[in-house]
């Protein structure tokens, strides 16, 4: 997809300025290889950040066993001066990677509320308090997927955490002329295509999936969707409809026939 509606450097009013800040915070810069990558949480962004650090000389190899620091040794487009931002948007190769919106939400839910105490305390406690009569006693580690979706339904998109903010809002594909949009479903092939296009050294490869990683399978997604109230999914869809339509993902199927399979 390569569309340009409104250049992000000239958007005038406050809401659009907020969108501009969001995309500039998510565009990572490689000046050496002249590309911009819009990172999307839960779409292999940690591995892409690892590659950027290798290309920039901060990491020796993509296989170095270090906890990912998502800020250090990375250049964010929003940290540059206006003229530098405009030049890179006009002249650098730009890409992002996308994922089925419901699969991405489920991945975020299982990771953040099942494993990360910080998210349990910051978001889980609030979700339990909002949607349960006796939620005040929750430690935030027992949030259900339905409760999580109710929380998203009540949240303003522009104020969402980046792990569940729609990809459209994070990367603004109607305001940035992306040269390539890869998909999580073709991750290895699409990533290699990008690395060849930016003339990355042949020694730099996209990291293999870690053996401990538990992917969201179609069967797992079906199980969660079929155990969620249909009205909730139906009412939530408009918030993510641009991700479904622009990136050609089918809407979730929660018909009785499908859920009996």
Q: How far is CA 208 from CA 179, 204, 205, in A?
A: 25, 12, 9
Alpha carbon distance 130, 136 (integer Å): 9
Measured CA to CA, the distance from residue 18 to residue 48 in angstroms comes to: 25
Report how far Cα 79 is from the mean position of its chain's Cα atoms. 20
Residue 208 confidence (pLDDT): 79
Reference 230, options 250, 253, 249, 257; nearest CA is: 253
Burial 154-184 (b: 16+ CB within 10 A, else e): eeeeeebebbbbbbbbbbbbebbebebbbbb
Looking from the CA of 67 toward its CB, the CA atoms found within 13 Å total 0
pLDDT (tens, 9 = 90+) of the chain, 261 residues, equals 333 333 454 444 455 677 889 999 999 999 999 999 999 999 999 999 999 999 999 898 887 776 666 688 899 999 999 999 999 999 999 999 999 999 999 999 999 999 999 999 999 999 999 999 887 789 999 999 999 999 999 999 999 999 999 999 999 999 999 999 999 999 999 999 999 999 999 999 898 776 667 789 999 999 999 999 999 999 999 999 999 999 999 999 888 777 876
Residue 252: strand, helix, or coil: coil
Long-range contacts of residues 247-251, Cβ cutoff 8 Å, at least 24 apart: 247/98, 247/167, 247/181, 247/183, 249/100, 249/101
Q: Calculate helix-pair angle for 218-226, 101-115, nearest 10 degrees.
A: 80
């Amino acid at each position: 997809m390569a569309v340009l509606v409104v250049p992000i450097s000239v958007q005038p009013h406050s809401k659009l300025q907020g969108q501009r800040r969001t995309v500039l915070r998510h565009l990572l810069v490689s000046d050496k290889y002249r590309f911009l990558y819009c990172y999307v949480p839960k779409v292999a962004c940690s591995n892409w950040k690892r590659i950027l650090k290798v290309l920039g000389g901060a990491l020796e190899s993509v296989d170095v066993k270090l906890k990912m620091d998502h800020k250090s040794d990375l250049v964010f487009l929003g940290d540059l001066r206006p003229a530098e931002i405009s030049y890179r948007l006009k002249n650098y190769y730009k890409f992002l990677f996308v994922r089925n919106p419901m699969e991405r939400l489920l991945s975020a839910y299982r990771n953040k509320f099942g494993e990360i105490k910080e998210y349990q305390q910051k978001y889980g406690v609030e979700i339990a308090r909002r949607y349960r009569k006796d939620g005040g006693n929750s430690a935030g580690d027992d949030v259900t997927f339905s409760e999580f979706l109710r929380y998203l339904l009540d949240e303003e998109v522009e104020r969402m955490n980046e792990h569940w903010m729609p990809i459209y809002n994070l990367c603004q594909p109607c305001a940035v002329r992306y040269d390539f949009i890869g998909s999580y479903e073709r991750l290895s092939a699409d990533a290699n295509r990008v690395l060849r296009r930016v003339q990355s050294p042949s020694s730099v490869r996209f990291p293999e999936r870690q053996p401990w990683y538990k992917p969201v399978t179609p069967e797992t997604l079906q199980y969660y969707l079929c155990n969620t109230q249909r009205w909730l999914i139906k009412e939530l869809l408009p918030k993510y409809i641009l991700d479904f339509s622009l990136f050609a993902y089918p809407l979730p199927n929660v018909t009785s026939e499908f859920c009996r399979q």
